[in-house]
Structure 1
Amino acid sequence: MSDSTLAEALAVGGWVHIELDLGGVVDKPAFMDRCARALDLPEHFGRNWDALADFLTDLSWAPPARGRLLVVTDWREYAGAEPNDWSIAQEVFAEAADHWKRTASELKVVLALGGAA
């Protein structure tokens, strides 16, 4: 299924498809920049782990949606270059997804095994 087909299918159910492409990312500043762009985070996003966790667990800044599917692509290079930070990123994503579980606006995060579309 292509990204556009996936986005269309999700939109029918009121969900938003977000792709976080980490291709070429090898450090935390670049990771945070990609998150800011992909998630369309507000300008005051602090570009640190606590700020990312805060924005993912308080979506009042985002347009309303039934749910959000965050697909992380091309993550292996970053995971290899910054294994500790990658572990923290996974923890932040998991805690945010858990926070929204069984709510009116879920957040699901998946790691794509292939490269970017």
Structure 2
Amino acid sequence: MNQKVFHLNGKKINNKQTFLTQAAEAMEFSAYFGHNWDAIDECITDLTWCPAQRYVILYNHADIFAQAEPTEYQIALDIFNSAKEYWESNNISFKFIDCLL
């Protein structure tokens, strides 16, 4: 199976902006990425630059962002859940694994 795994290093993420920057780097977003919630939502449901039949996002130390900015962290989770629904409706597996440690 053609699979693409992305890793978010949560040790470097303590707020919305560092989350967006790390996500853009990890997921290889293009230079036009707007560093806002709408932009990540758009990019994460595109991924034409790295086609796969399965996407996996591993996000370790998610507790740092979750504790520092719980509202913003929840927005990120909502975006990933929405992306999961989008990809699965297109018969492509999408897993988001957040490790709080």
Question: What CA distance in whole angstroms lies between the structure 1 residues aligned with 2:13 and 2:56?
Answer: 21
Count of residues paired in the alignment: 101
2:21 is aligned, of 24, 33, 38, to 33
- d(CA) in 1 for partners of 2:100 and 2:68? 17
Q: Is the 8 A contact 2:4 2:50 kept in 1?
A: no
Seen in structure 2, the aligned counterparts of structure 1 residues 75 and 52 have a Cα distance that, compared at 3 Å, is same
Q: CA deviation at 1:87?
A: 0.6
Deviation of 1:59 (Å): 2.0
Q: Which moved more, 1:46-55 or 1:17-26?
A: 17-26
Give 1:111 shift. Answer: 1.1
Kindly tell me: are residues 107 and 99 of structure 1, through their superposed partners in 2, closer, same or farther at Cα, counting changes over 3 Å?
same
Unaligned runs of 5+ in 1: 1-12
Aligned partner of residue 11 in structure 2, secondary structure: coil
| 1:32-88: CA deviation from partner (whole Å, max 9, x where unpaired) | 11001100100000010000001111222x222111111111110111000110010
The 10-residue stretch of structure 1 (105-114 or 72-81) with the greater mean CA deviation from structure 2:
105-114
RMSD: 1.3
State whether residues 4 and 54 of structure 2, in contact with CA within 8 Å, keep that contact through their aligned partners in structure 1: yes
d(CA) in 2 for partners of 1:102 and 1:91? Answer: 17
Identity of aligned residues (%): 27
Q: Which moved more, 1:22-31 or 1:45-54?
A: 22-31
Higher relative contact order (CA 8 A, sep 6+): 2
Q: TM-score, normalised by structure 2?
A: 0.91
Q: Which has the larger radius of gyration?
A: 1
Letter in 2 for 1:45: F
Structure 2 SS opposite 1:63: coil
5+ residue gaps, structure 2: none
The Cα of 1:98 is off from its aligned counterpart by 0.9
The aligned amino acid for 2:14 is: V
Aligned position for 2:39: 51
- Point out 4+ residue stretches in structure 1 off by more than 2 angstroms: 102-106
> Partner amino acid for 1:32?
L
- How far off its partner does 1:106 sit? 2.4
